[in-house]
Structure 1
């Protein structure tokens, strides 16, 4: 029995390149998902906060946040966001930075750990990123997060208890500590089988290639 490929992904809900990278990975894996020799893959998402000092309710636009955070002129930030929007469109994502609600993402990361225990991490990750980047939904407040959790089939009361208790905060911090131990200082970052690191939103064909390569390694290794 061949062991599945493990793909551990460090990313942030509020990282536009992370959503693009996620979609490109999915497309790449879909390219190699047919046939008797199709790779088996297990994907796990890990927490990384790009701006942990961000308030839950940031009073301003995404342009204002980035201009202040990065010290860039507003027109340069707009050009950067337009470029990202174009790349996202190529990945099939319709980013709406004008209506995006910038927020602190730690509670969203806690929710992802709760969802993982319920076998719904993949669905929760997709729902959070779509809500944030394409729908203008708030992903920093508990009430909003509970509503999104319910949309993917999680129990609302259990999700609220998980967030209000803060019992998954240590899991978030453990992910961040592991990222530091790996030397990860930017996301998205993909770790394949605990030994190959892939940085950035690579194109689908790059993910397809590495999936085939690593799967061939698995099949060549006796179980």
Structure 2
């Protein structure tokens, strides 16, 4: 049995981090029920804040303006933090200093997925190499690491050097990744992916699509995602 999962997401969306953890659990349950099944997860870009300056801007002032003031923001963070703890996430919003432009983070994810699927071998030589002992599948680790960098450690995920460092921590060649990020390669492909999501009517994330048949919006609990997976497969 085959299952494809398309996840429309942004690394600066806390609900997407929760949704990612819920998806991980749902996939564990699905594989337990379908030991011969093959699941393929593809991460699709979405710009939660498409007007973010390239260099970023102060995080808390932006959110206070967006949500109506300090009190409203604190209440929102409390709700998100409570939901996060249920998924094993201890959000550290106070560590985040800059609201990040995520174009380069999405480019990095795009690049890692090309590496994992071997697409790069037919287009041009692979310039991302794995560290000794890595298992050859970098995308799952990278996705988790990018969310952790943003929400657990307060690292600026709009900065190319930070992104390259995160990639290196996941077994990728940091120098090669930095060279890629310093170019504009795949930027238009990422922008087109965001535009396609909006054309399909996706206005919020996370958004999950199973076998191009069924969709689930928001950080649905694992059992709800599992139900959709089984129906789609």
Q: TM-score, normalised by structure 2?
A: 0.85
Please say if 1:44 is aligned against 2:62. no
Structure 1 portions without partners, runs of 5+ = 216-223
**Aligned partners of 2:31 and 2:67: how far apart in 1?**
44
1:71-128, Cα deviation, whole Å (9 max, x unpaired): 5121011101111011001110110000023211111111111111221222211110
Q: CA deviation at 1:57?
A: 4.4
Aligned residue pairs total: 211
Q: CA deviation at 1:35?
A: 4.9
Report the CA distance between 1:51 and its aligned residue.
Answer: 0.8
Residue 107 of structure 1 is matched in structure 2 by 104
1:98 equivalenced with 2:116 (yes/no)? no
Partner of 2:75: helix, strand, or coil? helix
Contact 1:110/1:166 (<8 A) preserved: no
What's the offset of the Cα at 1:174? 2.0
Where does residue 62 of structure 2 map in the other structure? 65
Equivalent pair of 2:208/2:217 in contact (CA under 8 Å): yes
2:72 paired residue number? 76
Going from structure 1 to structure 2, the CA distance change for 1:209 and 1:95 (only over 3 Å counts) comes to: same
**More displaced stretch, 28-37 vs 158-167:** 28-37
Instruction: Report the TM-score when normalising by structure 1.
Output: 0.89
Structure 2 counterpart of 1:185 = 203
Q: Which runs of 4+ in 1 moved over 4 A?
A: 35-38, 56-59
Distance in 2 separating the partners of 1:71 and 1:153: 38
1: distance between equivalents of 2:152 and 2:92? 5
CA distance in 2, matches of 1:147, 1:164: 14
Match of 2:53?
55
Q: CA deviation at 1:140?
A: 0.8
Distance 1:52 1:128 in 2: 18
**1:137-193 residue CA offsets vs partner (Å, 9 max, x unmatched):** 111111111111111111112211211111010121121122022111111111111
Partner of 2:225: 207
